[in-house]
Amino acid sequence: MDKVVASAQEALEGLTDGMTVTVGGFGLSGIPTVLIREVLSRGTKDLEVVSNNCGVDGAGLGLLLEQNRIRRVIASYVGENKEFARQYLSGELEVELTPQGTLAEKMRAAGAGIPAFFTPTGVGSQVSEGGMPWRYDSEGNVVKESPAKEKREFDVRGTVRDYVLEDSIFADFGLIRAAKADRHGNLVFNKAARNFNPLCAMAADIAVAEVEELVEPGEIEPDDVHLPGIYVHRVLVLTPEQAREKDIEKRTTRGPRPCGQDAPGSARTDQEA
């Protein structure tokens, strides 16, 4: 059951226009940079992308956004991308903003075969009542908005409250990045890069993992596996150069420490350093 593929082209075989794609990462931490660039080079367009955010200008999913390859985004945070805001407000891009925990559960539930679930998150807001702008026209008018969702009252351990029904997210492809994999697709993630990556794989019909290190089956202790290979269909091993390439959104450094003490307010950006 060797899931290792020889190239990025082979890894994304079958990805076509209009598909729904989950993409791992949080900001630029743990994003599948090589796979995103392969999507760009393939010319694939009209994608519905499900991700915590849509990258930043010039990096991550921002590369696909700049080339107008994305028609719709389901995300929980979009504040670092000016092009994203421009496309959304000018009517070029449809956006479904989703509470972060709900977004995570939508993908996890799909991986568990659960089509929908009830959650208290969003009750009493536009998340449940509807009316959240999904698409504008070029004049800034709302032309498509979120629908109202089913609500139901539950008694949970003596507390009665409303819950909203959320549909799970089932994707065609999932693009993720891991620190280590074996040939069976069992994955290990590095610290914060674990973020949304396992969930994006779980929700996809075809999950593709770009990995920094490949080991043989049995070399990863079972207790160390973060995502079992049952959720992973293809493994792309990165070159050392690709593995080292990791963008950082905002780098800060600490100034000198007078007399061995941290100086208050001494943090500065690398541009200032």
Q: Which domain holds residue 195?
A: 1-115+168-273
Whether residue 131 lies inside any domain: the answer is no
Whether residue 234 lies inside any domain: the answer is yes
Task: Give the model's pLDDT for residue 259.
Answer: 64
**3-class DSSP string for the chain:** CCCEECCHHHHCCCCCCCCEEEECCECCECCCHHHHHHHHHHCCCCEEEECCCCCECCECCHHHHHCCCEEEEEECCCCCCHHHHHHHHCCCCEEEECCHHHHHHHHHHHHCCCCEEEECCCCCCHHHHCCCEEEECCCCCEEEECCCCCEEEEEECCEEEEEEEEECCCEEEEEEEEEEEECCCCEECCHHHHCCHHHHHHCEEEEEEEEEEEECCCCCCHHHCCECHHHCCEEEECCHHHHHCCCCCCCEEECCCHHHCCCCCCEEECCCC
% of the chain at pLDDT higher than 90: 85
For the residues 157-186, what does the mean pLDDT come to?
Answer: 98
Q: For residue 268, is pLDDT > 80?
A: no
The total number of structural domains in the chain stands at 1
Q: For residue 256, is pLDDT > 80?
A: no
Q: Are 95 and 143 in contact (CB under 8 A)?
A: no
Whether residue 129 lies inside any domain: the answer is no
Q: What's the pLDDT tens digit per position in 43-86?
A: 999 999 999 999 899 999 999 999 999 999 999 988 778 999 99
Whether residue 25 lies inside any domain: the answer is yes
Whether residue 146 lies inside any domain: the answer is no
Q: For residue 269, is pLDDT > 60?
A: no
Q: What's the pLDDT tens digit per position in 109-141?
A: 999 999 999 999 999 999 999 999 999 999 999
Task: Give the model's pLDDT for residue 252.
Answer: 81
Q: For residue 22, is pLDDT > 80?
A: yes
Q: Are 109 and 79 in contact (CB under 8 A)?
A: no
Whether residue 133 lies inside any domain: the answer is no
Average pLDDT along the chain = 93
Which CATH number belongs to the domain containing residue 215 in this structure? 3.40.1080.10
For the residues 158-175, what does the mean pLDDT come to?
Answer: 98
Q: What's the pLDDT tens digit per position in 85-106?
A: 999 999 999 999 999 999 999 9
Whether residue 82 lies inside any domain: the answer is yes
Whether residue 175 lies inside any domain: the answer is yes
Q: For residue 270, is pLDDT > 80?
A: no
**261 vs 171, more confident:** 171
Measured CA to CA, the distance from residue 74 to residue 49 in angstroms comes to 6
Task: Give the model's pLDDT for residue 225.
Answer: 98
Task: Give the model's pLDDT for residue 78.
Answer: 82
Task: Give the model's pLDDT for residue 52.
Answer: 94
Q: Is 58 left (phi over 0), alpha (psi -120 to 50) or beta?
A: left
